Structure 1
Amino acid sequence: MELTVFEDARLLARGTVADVAAKMQSAVARGGSVLAFDDATGKVVDLDLRGTPQEVAARHAEAPARRGRPKLGVKAREVTLLPRHWDWLSGQRGGASATLRRLVEQAMRAESATSRQAQDAAYSAATALAGDRPGYEEAMRALFAGDTAGMQVHMAAWPEDIRDYVGRLLKATPA
């Protein structure tokens, strides 16, 4: 997980938990207000900063996937469907997994998933970092209207690091 960390309205660090833990601990020790954001979602991530930076990184390390087809990059997940959904899926060409993959691919092509995910990430970060700043509501209206230029105008009074991060999230494409 890639993080971006802010101390108040200033960009403090960017990277993995291991990369940013020491800087976060230092900022907290001097009384700074620190927020860490998951760059994939724009959401605030709560980190337990007790211990050394190495202990913090180890505590927040992602557990390895144990199911699926790891050599192919496939992670097993659970899908909860009603019995009638499973009945329909089992009758489809290629079985349930192949049908679900086809349906997901169609949906991803049909809607602008990348754009929507980037919008949601930008909204989450902007709300946490600038929800009380002038122009916030107008900037969010422009964001969801797809008016990037208008959004930039309404964010002009925000600190540069916040403007840059929200803009970076808006341009990001999910992996």
Structure 2
Amino acid sequence: MSPDDPPITLTAFAGFRRIAHGTKAEVLAQLRELGDVPSCLVFDDQTGAQLDLDLREMPDADTPHAGHEHRDEAPRGVGRPKLGVVAREVTLLPRHWDWLGRQPGGASVALRKLVDDARRVHADRDTVRTAQEATYRVMTAIAGNLPGFEEATRALFAGDEQRFGNLIEAWPIDLRAHLQKLSAPVWSRA
């Protein structure tokens, strides 16, 4: 996790009701407080990915990556792990390797610069796409059978905030509020 990444938060739903929200440790604590925890779905708020939590798990708050094992991370070892540099395989055509080899600092430095430039240039587009996908994942898992689901999905990906809002207006309040929160970057950057 880089310093630029937003804090990882989770939200748990039992049916259409939000029953927990916060960091992984906070959500685990809230679910434990409920005692006989109803069947619930837990989502990563940034990606909309559904997670399986073990209520017996005790995350170590002092560990920087505690509670983040649901993120895909490359195995450590090759590269400079202390600096966060991780080696992975990249497949390019010979002309690409030739060009990269002629760049100051070599292929790795050139690729890092290209990626950083692309992240800056496409930051708004990537933020919108990420918010749309997260909202869609949660909608699909919880609201797939609700009236207007398909039309709301179309409005979400079309960037039509008013239509999206109108279509989910009759949905349960906790679900509606969560979907509005997840989709907010779509509307603010459209």
Q: Under TM normalisation by the shorter chain, which class is it?
A: 0.7 to 0.9
Name the counterpart of 1:46: 52
Name the counterpart of 2:5: none
State the one-letter code of the partner of 1:4: T
RMSD: 2.7
State the one-letter code of the partner of 1:101: R
Partner deviation per Cα, 1:26-83 (whole Å, 9 max, x = no partner): 55725x221111111011111122x3xxx3434x6347x88141xxxxx233432126
Q: How does 1:152-171 map to 2 (within 5 A)?
A: 152-171=165-184
Secondary structure class of the residue paired with 2:20: strand
Deviation at 1:153, TM superposition (A): 1.0
Deviation at 1:123, TM superposition (A): 1.0
Partners of 1:9 and 1:79 in 2: how far apart?
41
> Is the Cα contact below 8 Å between 1:118 and 1:172 reproduced in 2?
yes
Unaligned runs of 5+ in 1: 70-74
Partners of 2:87 and 2:164 in 1: how far apart?
38
Deviation at 1:116, TM superposition (A): 1.0
Matched, 1:15 2:25: no
Secondary structure class of the residue paired with 2:86: coil
Unaligned runs of 5+ in 2: 1-7, 61-65, 70-75
Matched, 1:98 2:75: no
Partners of 1:172 and 1:46 in 2: how far apart?
26
Q: How does 1:135-150 map to 2 (within 5 A)?
A: 135-150=148-163
Deviation at 1:105, TM superposition (A): 3.1
Name the counterpart of 1:35: 41
Partners of 2:130 and 2:99 in 1: how far apart?
29
The alignment-based identity, stated in percent, is 40
TM-score between both structures, scaled by the size of structure 1: 0.78
Name the counterpart of 1:72: none
Secondary structure class of the residue paired with 1:57: coil
Partners of 1:23 and 1:128 in 2: how far apart?
22
State the one-letter code of the partner of 1:126: M
